[in-house]
Chain A
Amino acid sequence: MTRVSAPCTSVCSSFKDMNNHGPKAKSHSGEAEGPNGDWSWVLVGALFISTGLVFGLMRIMGIFFVEFVNYFEESSQSISWITSISLATQQFFSPVATALCNAYETRAVVMTGGFLSGLGLIAASQATCLVHLYLSMGVITGLGWALVFTPMMATVVANISQRRALALGLGLSSIGIFSFTLSPLFQLLVEMYTWRGALLIMGGLSLNIMVCGALIRPQWCSKALKKVDSKPRSSCATVLRRVSSYLELPVLLERPYLTYTATITIFNAGYFVPYVHLVALSRMTGFSEYQAAFIMSATGVTDILGRVTTGWFSDLGYFRTIHLLSLWVVLAGLFIILLPVSSLTGSYAALMAISLLYGFCSGALSSLVFAVMPMIVGVERVMGALGLLQLIESGAGLLGAPLSGLLKDMTGNYTVSFIVAGSFLIVGTLIMTTLPHYFSRTDPPPPHRVPHDVKDRGVHLELEHINNSPSDTSPKGAQ
């Protein structure tokens, strides 16, 4: 017998009963209509906290760098490898994480990820040499973060269809909020307990991701339900086929997905550059440490605003999400190019203004990037697709900041490196325009898997029906 998504259906509706909602005529598929009351917002809250504890903590790792440089007496370049390793590990292992979610339960994966990320930081607090830090704070914590971020994102994207962009915007706004509020807190902790004590406490805080993981109800239908045959054959071919389906490898053969991935990869090459070099640019222009730090904080605030505002605006449905994404990317690229230009004028107000605008656009684009994905690959494949995307874009992210550092070393100032970074974003947008149906006014029907089975067909027709009424075609989505 072949199992279909029907068991998921009943599981989903039984959980909906728990939330005291009446049966909805449309919701007879694996995805739950959102926001169906409390549970969706709980999920958004879990995304909020876990994303903040992943990327917010990554951003404030910079506080430890000065301490590490003094204690281990290494160059700041060797110390900055710690963040690079953790980010690269997080992105590289994303497809593994999503494959594990497809194979097993998302909840278990996220809780394991939370445990690993906390463990890595706790181990780092006992480090006696730089390599210890690379392994603990870099690899173990990065691996933990990989098991947390993409699964949580994919769960939210797949389970919330109404107001998806707003949910994502709210969830991702935590990065800015956490880095803004935790930054002075950790500065204080480093002063009180030195970096060892502060890392220990940071590890403890990371363990709160396990709480977020516990909040994920086993609602996301794992592919294990769909794929298990009555005769379990463990031949190579079957295993490989299963692994490739968990990893969603076939999606790599589709042109829309490839185009979109190429676009996001190019974005990544330029997107991180201001975060890495803005403080240095401000110091080079002649502003004090506090002024430079204040610019970063203010940019963080507009980043948060950008994420939430664009989420809300995109859900109103006046424009297609993908058009809004292109708009924000082009603006962000433009402002990145203007940053060194405004610093040339030497005016603090000009630099601050452009940084604030850049912050808003970069926050706006980062939450929409994930919101567009279901329209390209379909809701059921979002988990694996996001994992692969993270992996592919990681290469560009790894290269982007060192490339701009290299350009700065070659030319002596940041002008060229910022211009290159901004132009990456604009070039990426041009590539994005080659997506099919880019210039149409409404969203095209997203692709769905070719049904293998007659029994599947009925359910999949309904899935298509659901996917065809996404969040942004009409503003009646207020529930």
Chain B
Amino acid sequence: MSASWGKLFFQLVLLLASCGHINTKTPSPTSPSLDPISPLPSDIRRVVLKGESHTEKVELLNPVDLALECIWSGNENKSPNITGYWRKDGEEMQSIRVTVQLENDKYTLRQVFKIVSKENLGSYSCSFGDEAKADFLLAGPQIGEVRDKPIVSYVGDSVVVKCKMDEKKPKPASWNWYKANGTDKEQIFYAAEPQKYEIKNHEWVTKLVVHKLTEGDSGFYYCEGVYAVSTTMGHVELKVITFLEPLKPFIAIIVEVIVLVAAILIYEKSQSKKNSAGGNETNADQTNTPTPGDNNGPEESSSTRQRKV
């Protein structure tokens, strides 16, 4: 009885030790038998090195066993062995430094990394000695449409700030909104100020509605889409202006219209005054020659003219 308890105890300790080992910062090679959680989907990214270095972007949303493979064809002196090692975010992972054999005229370096949380993301580099290097950038997906021009709105009005994820990629589990405050970002909890902010999420699109705008609401707003292992951040700039801004060119145009209309009417009045001063006899001569039956002409002309002017 005590022997079976001892065995159980020993297995528990072993289990805890392996769990503890998995939870450290550096990812480690795993073997399925020690794994307490259900097996993760696996994925592989392969890079063939040509030339000095290469960068590959990897988009990750869910936990995965990611195998990264680097293949290098070597240089002029193809030595049979070369040291291959991995770096994460610039720091070398000492535990997985291996010696790579030359096979089929190339060197292959392969490593499986377990990606389960945000800390597992970052930049992974494989290196062959000091000669060839490749980078894998593990990150969340990019926000689909980022509006580069600021959204403009007026004081007292309400505005919709929108972030949209590319529909080809899966939709985020949730969204967070932040407002830039100096260099920090402050999260917007719409429950705290329901009159001011409203967050509407619908599949790939998130909308932040800001009511009763003030000039202090200007600035950068950040939308963050949350996935299982990664987040993705987009930003939009909001500018709040008062109605005086467009009013200035408007007033300028109104003034121009009034000036022109007045000028035209004054010019015409002055012209007709000049004509009515000395033009009546000339009129009588002209109209009498071609048209018959025109005896009423001159008197009516002056009366018509005055009526119209």
Within A39-91, the residues touching B (CB, 8 Å) are 70-71
Given that A4-B293, A207-B253 are contacting pairs, would A194 and B154 also be in contact in the complex, using a CB cutoff of 8 Å?
yes
Q: Which B residue's beta carbon lies closest to that of A19?
A: B271
Per-residue interface assignment for chain B, residues 242 to 284, with 1 indicating a CB less than 8 Å from any chain A CB and 0 otherwise: 0101110110011011001100110010011001000100110
> How far, in angstroms, from A200 to B300 measured CA to CA in the complex?
45
Q: Are A191 and B264 closer than 8 Å at their CB atoms?
A: no
> Is A208 a contact of B257 with CB atoms below 8 Å?
yes
B257 closest partner in A (C-beta): A207
Instruction: Known contacts A6-B297, A211-B257; decide if A28 and B290 are in contact (CB<8 Å).
Output: yes
- In A201-225, which residues have CB < 8 Å from any B CB? 201, 203-205, 207-208, 210-211, 214-215, 217-218, 225
Cβ-neighbour of A204 out of B152, B241, B254, B298 (below 8 A): B254
Contact assessment for B305 and A11 in the assembled complex, using a CB-CB cutoff below 8 Å? yes
Complex CA distance for A9 and B283, rounded to whole angstroms:
10
Which applies to chain B's interface (DSSP): helix, strand, loop or mixed? helix
When distances are taken between beta carbons in the complex, the residues of chain B under 8 Å from A4 are 293
**A6 pairs with B296, CB closer than 8 A:** yes
Which residues of chain A from 19 to 35 have any CB-CB distance to chain B below 8 Å in the complex? 23, 25, 28
Contact status A10-B298, CB under 8 Å: yes
A464 at the interface (CB under 8 A from B): no
Q: Nearest chain-B residue to A1 (Cβ)?
A: B296
Q: How far is the CB of A118 from chain B (nearest CB, A)?
A: 9
A194: which B residues are within 8 A, CB to CB? 152-154
Our pick among A25, A203, A455 for the contact of B293 (Cβ within 8 Å) is A455
Assess whether A409 is interfacial by the CB under 8 Å rule. Answer: no
How far apart are the CA atoms of A198 and B245 in the complex, in Å? 11
CA distance A79 to B50 in the complex (A): 55
Chain A residues near B293 (CB, 8 Å)?
Answer: 4, 6, 455, 458-459
Instruction: Chain B residues near A197: list those with CB within 8 A.
Output: 243, 245-246
Tell me the minimal C-beta distance from B6 to chain A in angstroms: 70
CB distance from B233 to the nearest CB of A (A): 23
Contacting pair B283 A13 (CB below 8 A): yes
For residue B149, CB closer than 8 A to chain A, the reply is: yes
Contact B249 A201 (CB under 8 A): yes
Report B82 CB to chain A, min CB distance, Å: 48
Inside 8 A of A14's CB, which chain B residues have their CB? 275, 279, 283, 301, 305
| Mask of A171-210 contacts with B, CB within 8 angstroms, 1/0 | 0000000000000000001011110111011011101101
Tell me, in angstroms, the Cα distance from A25 to B308 when the chains sit together. 26
Report if B137 contacts A (CB, 8 A). Answer: no
Q: Is B291 located at the chain interface by the 8 A CB criterion?
A: yes
Query: How many angstroms between the C-alpha atoms of A13 and B286 in the bound complex?
Result: 8
A10 touching B287, Cβ below 8 Å: yes
Report yes or no: A201 in contact with B250, Cβ–Cβ below 8 A: yes
* Min C-beta distance of A227 to chain B, whole Å: 15
Q: Assuming A14-B275, A193-B152, A194-B153, is B257 touching A7 (CB within 8 A)?
A: no
Cβ contact of B241, chosen from A11, A105, A189, A193, cutoff 8 A: A193
Residues in B neighbouring A455, C-beta threshold 8 A: 293
Chain B interfacial positions (CB closer than 8 Å to A): 149, 152-154, 160, 241, 243, 245-247, 249-250, 253-254, 256-257, 260-261, 264-265, 268, 271-272, 275, 279, 282-283, 286-287, 289-294, 296-298, 300-301, 304-305, 308-309
By a beta-carbon cutoff of 8 Å, the part of chain A in contact with chain B is 1, 3-4, 6-7, 9-11, 13-14, 17-18, 23, 25, 28, 70-71, 105, 111, 189, 191-194, 196-198, 200-201, 203-205, 207-208, 210-211, 214-215, 217-218, 225, 455, 458-459, 462
